[in-house]
Structure 1
Amino acid sequence: MNNNPPTNPAQCPFRGSRIGGALGSKPQTDDWWPNRLQVELLHQNLPQANPLRDFDYKGAFAKIDFEQLKSDIKALLTDSKDWWPADYGNYGPQMIRMAWHAAGTYRIADGRGGASQGMQRFAPINSWWDNGNTDKSRRLLWPIKQKYGAALSWADLMTLTGNCALEIMGFKTFGFGGGRIDAWEADRAIYWGPEFWNGDPIDDIKEYPGHPDEMVTRTIRWVGKPNEEYYDLENPLAASHQALIYVNPEGPNAEGDPHGSARDIRETFARMGMNDEETVALIAGGHAFGKSHGMVSPDKIGPAPEAAPIQAMGLGWQNPEGTGFAQYTMTNGIEGSWTPNPTQWDNSYLTNLFKYDWEQTKSPTDAIQWKPSNPDAPKTPDAHQPGVEHPLMMMTSDIALKVDPVYHEICQHFLDDFDYFSDAFARAWYKLIHRDMGPKTRYLGPEIPAEDLIWQDPIPALDHEVVDVADINFLKDKILASGISVSALVSAAWSAASSHRHSDKRGGANGARVRLNPQKDWEMNRPQELGEVLSTLEAIQADFNSTQSGSKKISMADLIVLGGCAAIEKAAQDAGVSVAVPFTPGRMDTTQELTDVEMFNWLKPVSDGFRNYHNEAVGYKVKPERIFLDRAQLLTLTAPEWTVLVGGLRALDQNWDYSKHGSFTDRPGVLTNDFFRVLTSMDYEWKPIDNREMLFNICDRKTGETKFTATRCDLIFGSNAELRQIAEVYGADDGNERMVKDFAAVWNKVMMLDRFDVGA
């Protein structure tokens, strides 16, 4: 690759190209230096991009006449438009698909994806081939969005429309909670798979960390779509191929293998937190409605929205055949409907799947699909041509439910008990469209179910009077006099709070789940030390609560955080700086019964640079500092916040294994700026201990003596150009007091990330 900048003076400086481009092209810097850590990913969704940055969405949403809103949506669903006619005169099925695909990008491994920010409006999701023609669904909804304006986000509108679509076709939904706030730009931090931003494939497949205890490195598979290539994705990505929501409907490699399809279905649905019953309920429930479209060869269809010409006004996949819609519609290449009545909730999908034998056939576009081999099988009406009927259709991914023994058994249960199936689908659909919203306390509107569900990570409501300033000071003194070290107190609080991830609002200190399985035993939480800290704090809690009159109490969740705050104040005082670390009481303690151990294990980091934890056994190839950046982004940290937080944690001796990597001080437990002073000093040389370049010796330049040791997650703050500038601020002679105060502020931010009850 040529690393010299273009010198031709006649060349337009804004000419788009793979190298040296400008707006709309791949960044020049990343092409020249592909290993550069993209610190700018921490600064997405800046207020300047949001025209509603000062808008009170919660207050505005509460003023909506919710019944009128639903009535408006339902009226629109049966008002067919000439420019995009409704199948069977009902937009319900395509709106279900829109809502499903908006929510279905969610993945349990890092909480990213999902419907809560309306990301289906932006690249790359808006131009995935599996989202073909969802642009038409959103454009059909514009009159509703236009009417309600800022009081109704696109994210809420899309998911509510999915509910309304189910209801007009005879299905009773489980409920709906609003409160999704629209993003105003694509999330560039999300890794969707091995492709460039514009969809071009790349040669090197990155391995990303998956489940905390495993790493799945999957092989490349090519899917037979003319002129396009799709990749089998590695764990933890919640799809089997790039540009898909879940799996290829034709089966792996588009080879029509139902057994292979069942394997992919189980894996991809599990990656988004669905069990086998929920998986079958979603597939069987969703395919009770509508049809698939495959009447025109895909090589005739125009480009996706992001590549469409400007006159298309954001609409993609233009179809030159016939009218370009109705009976000529092309989406995924498979043609037909699953049921005889595609706009009515019933059990005919499962009835026909199991009653009849199915033989493989081809769609008009040569895609693999299945038809009944029995001549007496019912027909399905044409979606647009009166009096025309067609054979029923199944996809390879449908036949998978019949051949897989576990799925088969679940289907039989649903066949035997339609009411049970209806309830299972209602609950699975509710989970699908709400999974990334976090605790139920964030939901808005009149249709929030009273029932607490285990996947919502329930925390009991506050049931006591909280402590006041005098109590807080008294408890701080008790904690510091208990003999627990500063390092241990900080570690316990950090272990509780840093489990939070902003992506799906899970984890955090509220609930004190750090006391429970599985978090109390995670090795990076120093389990033995944590147990001792918790035992001491429980004794302080019991003594305090027993002496209070009335309903005043302190929860363990609050006490754990307060212990960390007290320790930081002491560490700062020992460094000669007086600082008051903010503390807001009101957290509650949850129980083991309200904790889904399997789902919480997904919050366990495979690599955590904050504590210099890096699980070598996983065997991934991604550099630790890149995963560190990802964790910082999940905590919504800015680059300065990330930097000062790490410097403070190193000074406070927070390495998970008590190692001294990055602890560039002879005063561990004191909140100094020693980390930054050593990091920016030229008195030292930084020497890798082996050719893996994971651990380093910091040697005195004059004597050659090893003074300190470090990891990549330490050195990145001195090697990366942007991070080094920040480190120099804190490493200066006047930087220690600034560092202490900035550290206290970002510490409070992390402690409050899950305090949705106080608007944090």
Structure 2
Amino acid sequence: MNDIIHDKTNTDTFDMKGKCPFGGDRIGGSLGRPPTLSDWYPDRLKVELLHQNGPRANPLGDAFDYAKAFNSIDYAALKQDIKAFLTSSVPWWPSDYGNYGPQMIRMAWHAAGTYRIADGRGGAGEALQRFAPISSWWDNGNTDKSRRLIWPIKQKYGSALSWGDLMVLTGNCALEIMGFPTYGFGGGRRDAWEADNSTYWGPEVWDPKNVTSSDSMVTRDKRWRGKNGDGDYDLENPLAASHQALIYVNPEGPYANGDPMGSARDIRIAFTRMAMNDEETVALIAGGHAFGKSHGMVKADEVGPPPEIAPIEAMGLGWQNPEGTGFAEYTMTNGIEGSWTPNPTQWDNSYLENLFKYEWQQTKSPAGALQWTPTDPNAPKTPDAHTPGKMIPLMMMTSDLALKVDPDYRKVCEKFLNDFDAFTQAFSKAWYKLTHRDMGPRERYLGPEKRNEDGLLWQDPIPPCDHDLIDEADIAALKQSILAAGVSPSDLVFTAFSAAVTHRSSDKRGGANGGRLALAPQKDWAINRRTVPVITALRPVMEAFNGKQMDGKKISLADLIVLGGCAALEKAAADAGVEIAVPFMPGRRDTTQELTDIEMFGWLKPVADGFRNYLDEGFEEIAQGVAPEEMFLDKARLLSLTAPEWVAMVGGLRAMNANHDGSAHGIFTDRVGVLTNDFFTVLTSMDYEWKKADAKGMTFSLDDRTTGEQRFTATRCDLVFGSNSQLRAVAEVYASGDGHARFVTDFVKAWDKVMMLDRYDIHLQDLHGR
């Protein structure tokens, strides 16, 4: 309540004369509200981030089967409804050229374009464009209008059609009605139900009341390492956008400086971070700018605030424009005014033809933004979007000129200029990748237009299963064979976990399925060296089993790796006095090196992995002051773990000594390889004293308070489970006299969850029922 009453950024009209009865007199200085936990303790580990967007926020409930609902839609009728809307126009926001298509392409593009390869976050998958901060970024100006325009369609189809699917499909339909052959569409995006309050979008501190101007968004930019423009600068990881509140790059050039070559450098960095190569980058820019126009008829400082802080009567719409009607010919979006082509609602090659045929001179839009116009007065013009018979000079942005001046981009442009069919195919496939990159394996795709071929390496393809699966008797026999292969339980657990821990819930990449732990680049990562001899030992077990089967049953290496971990844990639990069956579901398949994009999988290599007590050799330089335990928390989030699951998982891995190098850090037991709760009993004990073992506080020793004898060593990723109050509260449960059996049970559940995170070949309802 304090935040609501005292936060004067919510509205300029609301005035509370009295004081909040629950706030007292403790107004937080310049904040205008009482301080929060984050104000008091800015370095506090925010464990609560693990529980965001939980089931209580979802009005559809856990049991709702979106795949079943989506598949019940008359897909052809849905597309017909969308296309009928696209060629209409409503008085409160008229369509440019009588066609909403270009506007909807921008909405879909900007929804998908937040994706970044470094951590897999962003993208259209959860329709986060509906929520802050993305909804109120300067670069998303007026996308709020686009979503309101398609609300009647969403309303008609209800829960059977997510916002994420509708936004992307509307973009596809927009391309199709303007003559462009799309590559396909896969449904299956599940909407989020609350704002993303945890993704790191950049280090800048900015004024939320002033988000309509590109200048205001870039002048305090801190995301670049080195001096922007000298060629030796780079963008802070995991960021992809070149400037604060942008999707890609500033269309006026770096810091609105009008420099095409500088813009080309920014484009290459940004699009590479978004998993696009040079050809895909050119195809997306040239293809997207074949349609529609840019809007810049009113100065930025005259336009109202974005949706998140707009007055309550605006009902969630932002950027209210006071000039004229506020829309149509008065529209203000990014500040640049005009169209790239003479026919902005038809797919053709005129964008590239005009870019290269004419010389371009710098000018300014009515809003004062830098843009370019042809020097040739006889150059073709484009129709005005709203005034019949009025013709307007063509426009290019600084980011368009970048494709002409950069030698490598220019080669791609020239290829497309000489082969329009190749350009069409390249844009079609690049658009499909852009709008589906965050969806993960193709098993998650729904609908009649999804593509199933193996040639799309960015989908991390795994060949279909070509054999019968093993049964319970086979599983029992294989467990015995694995344990008899001479591999320690610790090594088996480490290898299985190493295969599964690459999974990212953000873009659904990684995991044990596919057996990529045995392929480059994963087999060559330093953190995985301990797995190499284990896989070597498991191959004969696999070959012996598969060689003697006469009934068509086989086991994949991917399955065998996971089964090895399960067998080891059952033995370790029994040795600790707890009998428990570790679940195992066969069906993982092995992929090939040819179907593995080594460069893209390289982004999954960890800089830090607290589960296996690993820090990269270049950690300090890469981390830029981010503590290992913060990266550990982020990895737990990418594994979709709750706080109790995180604590239980680490306790079990430490009991089994799953450190990447087999070191003693965090191994608070004399019974290594036995599934005890010793990690928690030692961690919470007051019989010992922790001391720094190095000046930076990265490693520690545990000394007996009475004798001074060193008993154990640890890292920050061990001690955080005793130092953080929320994590310690869970650790105390497992350290209690009745906590051992509970710990083993909870650890096995968390283990099974991690092993199954990437099993998209199984219906999600089957997983929920396990």
Indicate the SS of the match to 2:382.
strand
User: CA separation of 1:16/1:471 partners in 2, compared to 1, >3 Å: closer, same or farther?
Assistant: farther
Task: Choose the corresponding residue for 1:312, options 308, 314, 338.
Answer: 314
Task: Choose the corresponding residue for 1:97, options 94, 101, 106.
Answer: 106
The answer on whether the counterparts of 2:117 and 2:275 sit within 8 Å (CA) in structure 1 is yes
User: Aligned runs of 1:581-660 on 2, under 5 Å?
Assistant: 581-618=582-619, 619=621, 620=623, 621-660=625-664
Cα displacement (A) at 1:178: 0.3
Cα displacement (A) at 1:463: 1.6
What residue is the counterpart of 2:461 in the other structure? 458
User: Per-residue displacement from partner, 1:545-579 (whole Å, max 9, x unpaired)?
Assistant: 11112211111111000000001111111111111
User: CA separation of 1:29/1:251 partners in 2, compared to 1, >3 Å: closer, same or farther?
Assistant: same
Instruction: Pick which of 410-419 and 460-469 moved more.
Output: 460-469
Instruction: Pick which of 615-624 and 156-165 moved more.
Output: 615-624
- Taking the aligned partners of 1:589 and 1:333, their CA distance within structure 2 comes to 51
The answer on whether the counterparts of 2:217 and 2:245 sit within 8 Å (CA) in structure 1 is no
- Taking the aligned partners of 1:392 and 1:313, their CA distance within structure 2 comes to 36
- Taking the aligned partners of 1:197 and 1:311, their CA distance within structure 2 comes to 25
Structure 2 unpaired stretches of 5+: 1-5, 7-17, 210-215
User: Aligned runs of 1:268-667 on 2, under 5 Å?
Assistant: 268-452=270-454, 453-525=456-528, 527=529, 529-618=530-619, 619=621, 620=623, 621-667=625-671
Cα displacement (A) at 1:202: 12
Cα displacement (A) at 1:534: 1.1
- Taking the aligned partners of 2:240 and 2:300, their CA distance within structure 1 comes to 25
What residue is the counterpart of 1:45 in the other structure? 53
The answer on whether the counterparts of 2:493 and 2:569 sit within 8 Å (CA) in structure 1 is yes
The answer on whether the counterparts of 2:442 and 2:452 sit within 8 Å (CA) in structure 1 is no
Task: Choose the corresponding residue for 1:110, options 116, 119, 126.
Answer: 119
Give the counterpart letter for 2:37 in structure 1: T
- Taking the aligned partners of 1:258 and 1:240, their CA distance within structure 2 comes to 14
Cα displacement (A) at 1:690: 3.0
Cα displacement (A) at 1:704: 1.9
The answer on whether the counterparts of 1:664 and 1:678 sit within 8 Å (CA) in structure 2 is yes
User: Per-residue displacement from partner, 1:260-300 (whole Å, max 9, x unpaired)?
Assistant: 10000000000010000000000000000000000001101
Structure 1 unpaired stretches of 5+: 1-5, 209-215, 222-230
User: CA separation of 1:74/1:601 partners in 2, compared to 1, >3 Å: closer, same or farther?
Assistant: same
Cα displacement (A) at 1:454: 0.7
- Structure 1-normalised TM-score? 0.94
Cα displacement (A) at 1:517: 0.3
Cα displacement (A) at 1:687: 1.0
- Taking the aligned partners of 1:666 and 1:350, their CA distance within structure 2 comes to 70
The answer on whether the counterparts of 1:233 and 1:242 sit within 8 Å (CA) in structure 2 is no
Indicate the SS of the match to 2:542.
helix
- Taking the aligned partners of 1:39 and 1:303, their CA distance within structure 2 comes to 32
User: Aligned runs of 1:6-21 on 2, under 5 Å?
Assistant: 11-13=20-22, 19=28
User: CA separation of 1:727/1:408 partners in 2, compared to 1, >3 Å: closer, same or farther?
Assistant: same
The answer on whether the counterparts of 1:26 and 1:197 sit within 8 Å (CA) in structure 2 is no
What residue is the counterpart of 2:12 in the other structure? none
- Taking the aligned partners of 1:460 and 1:139, their CA distance within structure 2 comes to 41
- Taking the aligned partners of 1:310 and 1:278, their CA distance within structure 2 comes to 42
User: CA separation of 1:653/1:185 partners in 2, compared to 1, >3 Å: closer, same or farther?
Assistant: same
What residue is the counterpart of 1:674 in the other structure? 678
The answer on whether the counterparts of 1:21 and 1:28 sit within 8 Å (CA) in structure 2 is no
- Taking the aligned partners of 2:733 and 2:515, their CA distance within structure 1 comes to 35
Give the counterpart letter for 2:726 in structure 1: E
The answer on whether the counterparts of 1:607 and 1:614 sit within 8 Å (CA) in structure 2 is yes
Indicate the SS of the match to 2:372.
strand
- Taking the aligned partners of 1:423 and 1:706, their CA distance within structure 2 comes to 66
- Taking the aligned partners of 2:383 and 2:709, their CA distance within structure 1 comes to 83
What residue is the counterpart of 2:709 in the other structure? 705
Instruction: Pick which of 689-698 and 587-596 moved more.
Output: 689-698
- Taking the aligned partners of 2:610 and 2:222, their CA distance within structure 1 comes to 18
Indicate the SS of the match to 2:761.
helix
Indicate the SS of the match to 1:685.
strand
- Taking the aligned partners of 1:309 and 1:134, their CA distance within structure 2 comes to 18
The answer on whether the counterparts of 2:502 and 2:510 sit within 8 Å (CA) in structure 1 is yes
User: Per-residue displacement from partner, 1:126-151 (whole Å, max 9, x unpaired)?
Assistant: 00010000000000001100110111
User: Per-residue displacement from partner, 1:468-497 (whole Å, max 9, x unpaired)?
Assistant: 111101000111111100111111101110
The answer on whether the counterparts of 1:93 and 1:289 sit within 8 Å (CA) in structure 2 is yes
Cα displacement (A) at 1:13: 2.6
What residue is the counterpart of 2:88 in the other structure? 79
Indicate the SS of the match to 2:392.
strand
User: CA separation of 1:509/1:405 partners in 2, compared to 1, >3 Å: closer, same or farther?
Assistant: same
Task: Choose the corresponding residue for 2:719, options 693, 708, 715.
Answer: 715
Give the counterpart letter for 1:642 in structure 2: W
- Taking the aligned partners of 1:660 and 1:256, their CA distance within structure 2 comes to 56
- Taking the aligned partners of 1:688 and 1:531, their CA distance within structure 2 comes to 33
Identity of aligned residues (%): 68
Indicate the SS of the match to 2:618.
helix
Give the counterpart letter for 1:50 in structure 2: N
Give the counterpart letter for 1:55 in structure 2: F
User: Per-residue displacement from partner, 1:310-340 (whole Å, max 9, x unpaired)?
Assistant: 0000000000000000110000111110000
Cα displacement (A) at 1:532: 1.6
Task: Choose the corresponding residue for 2:698, options 684, 688, 694.
Answer: 694
Give the counterpart letter for 1:39 in structure 2: V
Give the counterpart letter for 1:684 in structure 2: Y
Cα displacement (A) at 1:366: 1.2
What residue is the counterpart of 1:35 in the other structure? 43
Indicate the SS of the match to 1:687.
strand
Cα displacement (A) at 1:531: 2.1
- Taking the aligned partners of 1:682 and 1:293, their CA distance within structure 2 comes to 66
Cα displacement (A) at 1:449: 2.2
- Taking the aligned partners of 2:29 and 2:648, their CA distance within structure 1 comes to 34
- Taking the aligned partners of 2:562 and 2:171, their CA distance within structure 1 comes to 41
- Taking the aligned partners of 1:153 and 1:416, their CA distance within structure 2 comes to 40
The answer on whether the counterparts of 1:16 and 1:25 sit within 8 Å (CA) in structure 2 is no
- Taking the aligned partners of 2:526 and 2:201, their CA distance within structure 1 comes to 29
Cα displacement (A) at 1:353: 0.2
1:187 has 2:196 as partner:
yes
What residue is the counterpart of 2:15 in the other structure? none
- Taking the aligned partners of 1:433 and 1:17, their CA distance within structure 2 comes to 47
Cα displacement (A) at 1:189: 2.2
User: CA separation of 1:513/1:397 partners in 2, compared to 1, >3 Å: closer, same or farther?
Assistant: same
The answer on whether the counterparts of 1:217 and 1:235 sit within 8 Å (CA) in structure 2 is no
Give the counterpart letter for 2:605 in structure 1: K
The answer on whether the counterparts of 2:225 and 2:234 sit within 8 Å (CA) in structure 1 is no
User: Per-residue displacement from partner, 1:628-666 (whole Å, max 9, x unpaired)?
Assistant: 000000000000000010111111111112211111111
- Structure 2-normalised TM-score? 0.92
- Taking the aligned partners of 1:26 and 1:643, their CA distance within structure 2 comes to 32
Give the counterpart letter for 2:490 in structure 1: S
User: CA separation of 1:239/1:627 partners in 2, compared to 1, >3 Å: closer, same or farther?
Assistant: same
Task: Choose the corresponding residue for 2:179, options 166, 170, 175.
Answer: 170
